[in-house]
Amino acid sequence: MPDKVMRHMAGTRQSTLFDNRFAAGTAYNGRTFAEFFAGIGLVRLGLERSGWQIRLANDMDPLKLKMYEGHFGPAPYYCTDDIHELAKAPERVPDILLAHASFPCTDLSVAGARRGLNAGESSAFWGFERLLEAMDDRRPPLVLLENVTGFLTSHEGRDFRAALVALNRLGYSVDAFIVDAAHFVPQSRARLFVLAKTFDGPLDPVDLHRLGASPLRPEALLNFMRRQSDINWDVRELPPLPPYGATRLESILDNIPADSPQWWSDDRVKYLCAQMSARHKAIVKDMKQTRRWTSGTVFRRVRKGKSMGELRTDGIAGCLRTPKGGSGRQILFQAGYGRCRARLLNPAECARLMGADGFQVTVPLNQALFGFGDAVCADVIDWIARHYLNPMTDSLLPVTKPVRSGRHRALTLASVES
């Protein structure tokens, strides 16, 4: 292993050009960011609420760009290059304070047969890593990764470790935590985040071995982090998350008239109920006996070769997914007054489940569901910015003019001290 990697993994801090440039702050004109694998821009929504400014968006899906521009307007800063190609032209990425990357989760999940970080779509992480490396002295001081919690256990943790080692090699120390969107919106959507930084921020680091398990860092994540003692960790304490499930499913639902074509036919509803297990049919029977509409959600899943309708009635929707093959579309199920009714969650409701109430949808239903199912909850990003990114950067953005060094804008220690 190269000496540079060993130094970072041993925890020895190097005085870097990144640190010096970041200390002066104005090299970035404030809190600027790029969103890679940007999708429809919900990371942007969350960061903008906390005072951050977009400089670049990148996603190779032109349909997501169409949805992005339907809400934000023309976006000439949105490029649809493959991340591996963009890594060959790092000069196209402007100076930024933060790079956010929600690289594809397909091969880290059951849907992708857990093929891992080096397979299929999820290997896009390595294109992002090569881009950071190619940016050299313009490398952003902050990097935020987001992915499914399966990233933690993919290939018995080897994939997650490989990503952390790669960030260490580039000069970043790392922190990791999990946030479930159900602390903010009525949707079960747990995601693993990695915050990497090239400087020592003002937040106090904590000892991993003294840190207790919490929803942010459950025992499985803490145990992994403690076992990786050669990783250059920089773990910060965070405030408690809002209460889980405090916002109920009913709060995001539109009041759809009974004669709306959004509601399914009686025959279609009966067929859905027939696909449920005996336990779920009993729940439906109890729901029908109430003198009010009780809401739940249903996903169709294949169990033992048979399509089943799985009902959830705890006031929280299941995790929104991309509607590949139709099974990923989440169904609203309501019962009461002796009857049942069902329809798909509509785009406005999906937007609210993603912390993006009011998102302007200008595309067909399935395209909208795909965009939201492949996105990041904006409320979660806002919380991370307010409680981690902003406190870390507040005292590190003094008014100091940057100087130019060679081809790239950079700062020297002398310019900072003066």
Q: What is the CATH number of the domain that holds 35?
A: 3.40.50.150
Note whether residue 355 is domain-resident. no
In a domain, 9, yes or no: yes
- Give the span between the Cα atoms of 400 and 23, in whole angstroms: 9
Do 235 and 316 have their domain in common? no
Q: Does one domain contain both 282 and 333?
A: yes
CA-nearest of 121, 96, 92 to 107 is: 121
On whether both 387 and 330 belong to a single domain, the answer is: no
Residue 34: give the domain boundaries.
Answer: 3-245+375-417
Q: What is the DSSP string of 184-225?
A: TSSB--EEEEEEEESS--SSPB--TTTPPP-SSS-HHHHHHH
- State yes or no: pLDDT of 249 exceeds 70: yes
Q: What is the pLDDT of residues 17-63, one digit of tens each?
A: 334 444 433 344 589 999 999 999 999 999 999 999 999 999 999 99
Kindly tell me if the per-residue pLDDT of 113 is higher than 60.
no
Q: How much is the pLDDT for 414?
A: 25
Of the segments 295-299, 305-309, 413-417, which one has the largest average pLDDT value?
295-299
Say how many residues make up the chain. Answer: 418
How many structural domains comprise the chain? Answer: 2
Asked whether residue 204 falls in the same domain as residue 60, the answer is yes
Structure confidence at residue 118 (pLDDT): 63
Give me the pLDDT at residue 17, please: 36
pLDDT of residue 412 exceeding 90, the answer is no
* Cα separation, 73 vs 356, whole angstroms: 16
Looking at every residue in the chain, the average pLDDT score rounds to: 85
* Domain assignment of residue 240, yes or no: yes
273 domain residue, yes or no: yes
Q: Which helix (H) or strand (E) holds 414?
A: helix 413-417
Other beta carbons within 10 Å of 71: 20
Compute, in degrees rounded to 10, the torsion defined by CA atoms 381, 382, 386, 389: 30
The secondary element (H helix, E strand) that includes residue 301 is strand 294-303
Q: Which residue has the tokens 């009635």?
A: 313
Q: Which of 306, 328, 345 is the endpoint of a domain? A: 345
Tell me the two tokens of residue 97. Answer: 């304070």
How is residue 355 written in tokens?
């912390």
And the tokens for 309? 């309708």
Residue 102 — φ and ψ, nearest 5°? -105, 70
Give 205-247 pLDDT, tens digit per residue: 899 989 999 999 999 999 999 999 999 999 999 999 999 999 9
Same domain, 57 and 190: yes
Looking at the structure, tell me whether residues 118 and 26 fall in a common domain: yes
Query: What mean pLDDT do residues 260-289 have?
Result: 96
In a domain, 352, yes or no: no
- For residue 322, report the phi and psi dihedrals to the nearest 5 degrees: -75, 135
- Asked if residue 235 and residue 97 are part of one domain, the reply reads yes
| Tokens standing for residue 236 | 């910060």
> Are 26 and 101 in a shared domain?
yes
Residue 89 to residues 72, 80, 81, 136, 145, Cα–Cα distance (Å): 26, 13, 10, 12, 21
73 phi and psi, to 5 degrees? 90, -175
Q: Is there a single domain that holds both residue 335 and residue 240?
A: no
Q: What is the pLDDT of residue 202?
A: 82
Amino acid letter, 180: D
Is there a single domain that holds both residue 236 and residue 284?
no
Q: Do residues 196 and 329 both lie within one domain?
A: no
Strands 53-58 and 78-79, by their bridges, are parallel
Range among 1-15, 60-74, 118-132, 155-169 rated most confident:
60-74
Which pTM does this prediction carry? 0.86
Identify whether 101 is part of a domain. yes
Least Cα distance to 385 among 396, 394, 398, 375 occurs for: 394
User: Does 201 share its domain with 272?
Assistant: no
Report how far apart, in Å, the C-alpha atoms of 307 and of each of 101, 178, 216, 276 are: 34, 31, 34, 9
